[in-house]
Structure 1
Amino acid sequence: MRRAMAMIAVALSFSAVVSSVTGGGVAQAGSRRCGPPVKTDGVGTLGTSWKLKSQYDDDGPVGNPLVAGEEFEIATAARQHWSVSFADNGIGFFGNPDDISVAGGIREVHPNPARHNQTNRMSVHAKRLDTGETVDGFVDLPFAPPGCG
């Protein structure tokens, strides 16, 4: 009986070690945050509210996993047509010339490859196509933490 209990304990221990080595550590490293987000909000030229958030992550492609992600939301009614563009340090990396809002508004989330030892000014420009209302915002990301990416 003691021998059977000892064998079960050894088997369970081995199973726990294999599980932690093959699963937990790898999955957590790819999804961990790389520093806190930087946020701002405001209103467009005709009063529509918006939010902008950016932060670093390490889920980019193999070879350059460090990315600066940008998340932008406009609180609009459904079926409004906006053009939306993102830039990182003045260089555009996403654009949608006819972004049509749903009931909850518009939400765009996109990553851009980033580098260490560099700040990133993440900016957004949006324009409502029928009224001409514009939204312009930016946040400045400090250097990414050394262990990120």
Structure 2
Amino acid sequence: MEPVVGATPKVVKSDQEWREELSPDEYSVLRQAGTERPFTGKYTDTTTVGVYSCRGCGTELFTSDTKFESHCGWPSFYDPADSDAVITREDRSLPGRPRTEVLCATCHGHLGHVFEGEGYDTPTDQRYCINSVALTLRPAEE
């Protein structure tokens, strides 16, 4: 994974430490910018009220209040829980299709991509398309 220009992660671990702490699928997504197959993720259709945190470092990233049904195959959110929770960078890994990659601001783990102008009825007109394997859901206490 390329370093993020102008940003230093607050959580820094060696590649070996990440491999020991994460499952192979988690490592592939969070540390190598992989993508889980659509409609296979644990949180794609979940409606549980709570907070979604980074699987790599535990930083709160999104809340269930901003999760919406996009029918794209991955959990979708229209806004991060905190404006400083995620960072973005240009992703030109697909020829002819530049995208905006979303990373955890704390550990720089790859989360997914953000798209704009797709016509979803959300307050931000954005869709943060996030890999379930990059997240941990902490249900709200009743």
> Which is richer in strand?
1
> Which is richer in helix?
1
Q: TM-score range by the shorter chain?
A: under 0.3
TM (norm. structure 2) is 0.27
Higher relative contact order (CA 8 A, sep 6+): 2
